[in-house]
Amino acid sequence: MSLDGFVAGPNDSPDNPLGDGGQALFAWYNSGDVELRLFGTDMVFKVSRVSADFLQDTWNTKGVMVAGRRMFDIANAWGGHPPGGGPCFIVTHHTPQEWVKEASPFVFVTDGAESAIRQAQRAAGDGLVSIGSASIAQQALVAGLLDEIHIDLAPVLLSSGVRLFDKLGVAPVPLQQIRAVEAPGVTHLRYRVVK
Ligand SMILES: NC(=O)c1ccc[n+]([C@@H]2O[C@H](COP(=O)([O-])OP(=O)(O)OC[C@H]3O[C@@H](n4cnc5c(N)ncnc54)[C@H](OP(=O)(O)O)[C@@H]3O)[C@@H](O)[C@H]2O)c1
């Protein structure tokens, strides 16, 4: 996330996944010398030792992700290999029939974010459920279903684009800081949502 709260710049699309200027958010992904794999994908990043040690427990662990339809489309369905290893729950109004097939890692949920998160919790059992897009994180927070917020804060101001916490409609949302780790090119922050 940028210091002014954006997770993508304007004009995001499958050809421009992080929007105009948004690449600056991920500069730290490939500016270190320690390999960090995103579980379930073939994506390997080169981050600093500090970032690798800190992120290991969430990035390199099997889990179930919930995301919105824009993220699914912009990521080109992660090539069929969503982060976490699947299943992956996509909240949408319109199910893309080409992904409804045996062995598809995707479950399309058309009755709302809350339903998707509850289905993901059942699928994950004791494992991690992560939220992979902004609008779904907002809906999870408002529904009281978000336990923690993990931010990788990049040293950039984007000024416009996709805000992580836009139009929440609830305030204040009290948070308890769990960790703050300064790493080269990024500050890792974790908060617990106080309920
Ligand atoms: N910087 C980072 O680390 C990072 C990480 C993740 C994402 N991102 C960025 O975040 C952006 C994607 O997030 P986003 O918030 O714009 O979109 P999103 O959450 O991925 O998708 C929003 C779409 O999901 C569907 N949807 C959402 N809530 C729904 C509901 N309750 N019922 C039915 N359908 C629902 C709707 O699509 P339909 O009506 O078309 O079905 C809606 O337009 C991208 O720009 C991506 O690059 C950045």
Which residues fall within 8 angstroms of residue 74, CB to CB, at 6 or more apart?
12, 13, 14, 17
- pLDDT tens per residue across span 126-148: 999 999 999 999 999 999 999 99
Note whether residue 126 is domain-resident.
yes
Q: Is the CB of 134 under 6 A from ligand 1?
A: yes
Counted domains in the chain: 1
pLDDT above 70 as % of the chain: 100
12, 163 in Cβ contact below 8 A? no
Note whether residue 150 is domain-resident.
no
Q: Which atom of ligand 1 is found nearest the CA of 109?
A: 33
Question: Could you list the residue range(s) of the whole structural domain that residue 73 is in?
Answer: 6-144+157-169
Note whether residue 149 is domain-resident.
no
Q: Is the CB of 183 under 6 A from ligand 1?
A: no
Note whether residue 44 is domain-resident.
yes
Number of Cα atoms under 13 Å in the Cβ half of residue 50? 12
Note whether residue 103 is domain-resident.
yes
Q: Is the CB of 91 under 6 A from ligand 1?
A: yes
Q: Is the CB of 68 under 6 A from ligand 1?
A: yes
41, 78 in Cβ contact below 8 A? yes
Task: Report CA(33)–ligand 1 centroid distance (Å).
Answer: 32
In which band, very low, low, confident or very high, does the pLDDT at 113 lie, cut at 50, 70 and 90? very high
Return the CATH number at 15.
3.40.430.10
Entry pTM: 0.97
